[in-house]
Amino acid sequence: MTTFSQVLSEVAMLLSGPDPDLIEIVGLSLRVSVTATVLACLIGLPLGALLAIRPFPGRGLCTLLINTLMGMPPVVLGLMVYLLLSRSGPMGFLQLLYTPTAMIIAQFALVLPIVAALTRQQVEDSWKDYCDPMHSLCVPTTSAVQTLLWDNRLSLLTAALAGFSRAISEVGAVIIVGGNIDHLTRVMTTAIVLETSKGDLPLALALGVVLMTIALIINALVFSSKGKLA
Amino acid sequence: MLPLQIRQLAVCIDNKALLHNIDLTLADKGVSILMGHNGAGKSLLLRCMHGLIEPAAGSLQWAGIHATDINSRHRQAMVFQKPLMLNRSVAGNILYVLKLRNKPKDRLQQHLQTAELESQSRQSARSLSGGEQQRLAIARALACEPEVLFLDEPTANLDPEATQKIESQIHHATGKSIKVIMVTHDVAQARRIADDVVFIHKGAITEHTKAKTFFTTPESKQAHDYLAAYVKPV
């Protein structure tokens, strides 16, 4: 039976010395999740803002779709990306399967609806106050989007963090498209799954603690930067 | 941009006619005041004049150009009763408009000075007091260098000192030959600054006269009752 003392001793061991394997896994986890989140923000923020302020036929349907995609199971999305990137798939010629790039694509697809949906809601709420002044000043749509994104920057930072949290903590998609290959596509969550299947529960839990600590540090960094952005 | 010519204007919202049979010509510069009871349609008419609302019937033209035409609206600016403060500094709010309208950035100081906000230029606009926010909103509108300035109850809920500063900005605007069209409930203020008064009652204009005439011998019964209620001791 795994005890908390065993977990704590494993955590202490993991953090006591610079384990090259752990550093590699943590580094790849951060590289994949941060890249996916940044790319999702670059597209999701303006997309969500546009959905909020620009009326067009089918806007309600788009909103419904994006909101629904927030709940997409990572395994299902991983399978879809797998089929897309597999040799016989439409993008198989790119030979991206079982590479970190494939993992970034899968996590990007997971994070994009979260960022876009949360942005749309936030910007739509703000637009009630901004609509008349923006029309009065004859602000073009692109400038209005920029203005709303900038003025809501603190709230949207939370949307970005929600997206990052989804990316760094998911396992279903990255294990399917990445394959959990040692020194190539192994990240924190896939390592936890591996250790669990091997029965090394203290190490699996210790890796989980390390993962949460990293998430905590990133959240703290973002939280502290809010004051500077205000 | 003048004259403003409104003919048989009607505005309906949710199938309810909130403005009807509006005929009005504003040809002179100076300050025109829209007065009337709450819900009479003053703010709605102001938004219509600015081209923010498409009328259900009739026409509204600025020197022959339709009010909703972008060329017409580029020459106007509006300050709303609850002014929107962009989430940036006081200076940032004015710079936003200067950049938007391709005006030189060096005009910033001049606008801050007119609004008496020089010392707060780096402060967050949203941390200003109500009066300061309203002055900033007017300064931002004036940064557009409009020919017509719409003000929707700019001094509502402000103390006398803050009101005086806003009126000083209005005088500054009219001194630059900007036509000011303003909604106010403050009869004393209207007396101080109005050149002409448009009185609206239940969605229709009952009177448009020179300010002096309006405050001494109002033509319509509704305007007479409105002014009488104002001076009647409680």
Domains of chain B with bracketed CATH: 4-231 (3.40.50.300)
Across the interface, do B84 and A133 touch by the CB < 8 Å criterion? yes
Confidence band (pLDDT; 50, 70, 90) for B232? low
Q: In what order do the strands lie in the sheet with B148-152?
A: B76-79, B148-152, B179-183, B31-36, B196-201, B204-210
> Crossing angle, helix A100-136 and helix A141-151, to 10 degrees?
110
Predicted confidence (pLDDT) at residue A1 exceeds the cutoff of 60: no
What CA–CA distance (Å, rounded) separates A41 from A161? 10
- Chain A residues with CB inside 8 Å of B138's CB? none
- Closest chain B residue to the Cα of A149, Cα to Cα: B87
Q: Which of A129, A143, A150 sits opposite B100 (nearest CB)?
A: A143
User: To the nearest whole percent, how much of chain B has pLDDT over 70?
Assistant: 98
Residue-wise pLDDT for A39-65, tens only, equals: 999 999 999 999 999 999 999 999 999
Question: Which residue among A132, A147, A230 places its CB closest to the CB of B86?
Answer: A147
Confidence of residue B53 (pLDDT cuts 50, 70, 90): very high
pLDDT above 80 for B234: no
Which among A206, A211, A207, A149 has a CA at the least distance from the CA of A5?
A: A206
Chain B closest-CA separation from residue A31 CA (Å):
32
pLDDT by residue (tens digit) across B67-98? Answer: 888 888 899 999 999 999 999 999 999 999 99
Looking at the complex, does the CB of residue B87 fall below 8 Å from at least one CB of chain A?
yes
**pLDDT over threshold 90, residue B44:** yes
- B84 and A150: CB-CB below 8 Å? no
Mean per-residue pLDDT for A163-169? Answer: 96
Number of helices (H), then strands (E), in chain A: 10, 0
- The overall average pLDDT reported for chain B is 94
Return the residue of B nearest to A134 by Cα.
Answer: B84
Asked whether B121 and B89 are in contact (CB, 8 A), the reply is yes
Tokens of B96: 């936003």
Alpha-carbon distances, residue B78 vs B59, B108, B162, B214, B219 (angstroms): 20, 19, 19, 25, 30
The share of chain B scoring above pLDDT 90, in percent, equals 91
Reduced to 3 states, what is the DSSP secondary structure of residue A91?
coil
Interchain CB contact of A143 with B (< 8 Å): yes
- List, as ranges, residues 113-132 from A with C-beta within 8 Å of B: 129-130, 132
Instruction: List the CATH code of the domain at A20-187.
Output: 1.10.3720.10
**Average pLDDT in chain A:** 93
Distance CA B78, CA B225 (A): 30
Q: What is the mean pLDDT of residues A137-151?
A: 96
Residue type, position B132, single letter: E
Residues of B in contact with A157 (CB under 8 A): none
Nearest CB to B84; choose among A129, A143, A150:
A129
The ipTM (two decimal places) reads 0.91
Option in B84, B124, B144 nearest A130 (CB): B84
What pLDDT is recorded for position A16?
A: 80
Give percent of chain A above pLDDT 70. Answer: 99
CB of B216 less than 8 A from some CB of A:
no
The C-alpha angle A35, A80, A69, rounded to 5 degrees, equals 70
Of A132, A138, A152, the CB nearest to B80: A132
Distance, in Å, from the CA atom of A214 to the CA atom of B124, rounded to the nearest integer, reads: 33
Minimal CA separation from B76 to chain A, in Å? 8
